[in-house]
Amino acid sequence: MKRCFTIILNPIADQENAKKKIPIIKEFFSKNERDFKIILTEGIGHATSIAESSAQIPDNVIIAAGGDGTSNEVINGLMLDSRKSESSSIHQNRLQFGVLPIGRGNDFAFGAGVPHDLTESMRLLLDGTFYPMDVGLIAGGDFPEGRYFGNGVGIGFDTIVGLEAAKMKHFHGAASYIIAAIKTLVMLPKAPTVEI
């Protein structure tokens, strides 16, 4: 039985350039005779709810198409579904998650070894091997019930850098984050002391 692919695509990723990739994605999966559907996110938290409900479909590969925010939301949806599952060990073994790095930063995809080239990353989803991955959980603040993460968690600096990078119109990818990090270091007020 061929796998089905649910592609959760953030149309505003990479300053709305992600939605321009939809025809390329459709053509690739159609040409390769794969069952797929593309669901566009409509706001913060929507990818989480789509992933949570999509996890119920047998032999379904859930794909985050966007940047790190989209990947994080999809991971959270899959883990929320996993929490609810009565037979979580069986359930977790059948869940398959992939990434199409069409966002701005794509740290998660880079760390997972996913090619930056869209066609290569789609080919990997069809021909590659799926491996288990560790997922962390952090609780507190706005998320007393916890929030999952796949590749890293920050406590402020990285958030400011991400917000600054998103404001940049002429720089994309790593360049926007490097410039934003320098700007944040220069402009950042004295950070509070944190004890762990």
Q: Does the residue 196 lie in any domain?
A: no
- Looking at the predicted structure, is the pLDDT value of residue 62 above 70? yes
**Same domain as 164, residue 146:** no
Whether residue 83 contacts residue 148, with contact meaning beta carbons closer than 8 Å, is answered with no
pLDDT of residue 90: 43
Q: Both 82 and 133 in a single domain?
A: yes
The reported pTM is 0.80
Residues 74 and 142 in one domain: yes
13 and 110 fall within a common domain:
yes
Higher pLDDT, 62 or 142: 62
In sequence order, the β-bridge partners of residue 136 are 149
For residue 68, give its domain range: 4-153
Q: Where are the beta strands (DSSP E) in the chain?
A: 4-9, 35-40, 60-66, 96-101, 136-140, 143-149
Encoding tokens for residue 180? Answer: 């934003």
Whether residue 138 is contained in a domain is answered as yes
**Looking at the chain, how many residues does it have?**
196
Domain count, the chain: 2
Residue 99: CB atoms within 10 Å: 26
* pLDDT for the residue numbered 89: 47
The verdict on 48 and 108 lying in the same domain is yes
Could you give the CA distance from residue 176 to residue 39 in angstroms, rounded to a whole number? 28
pLDDT tens-place string over residues 158-191? 778 877 877 877 777 678 878 888 888 888 766 6
Q: Is the dihedral of CA 155, 160, 166, 170 positive or negative?
A: negative
Are 186 and 123 part of one and the same domain?
Answer: no
pLDDT for 94 equals 66
Same domain, 15 and 69: yes
User: 115 lies in a domain?
Assistant: yes
Residues 74 and 168 in one domain: no
Same domain, 38 and 59: yes
Pair 83, 158 in one domain: no
DSSP-derived letter for residue 194 is -
At residue 30, the pLDDT reads 97
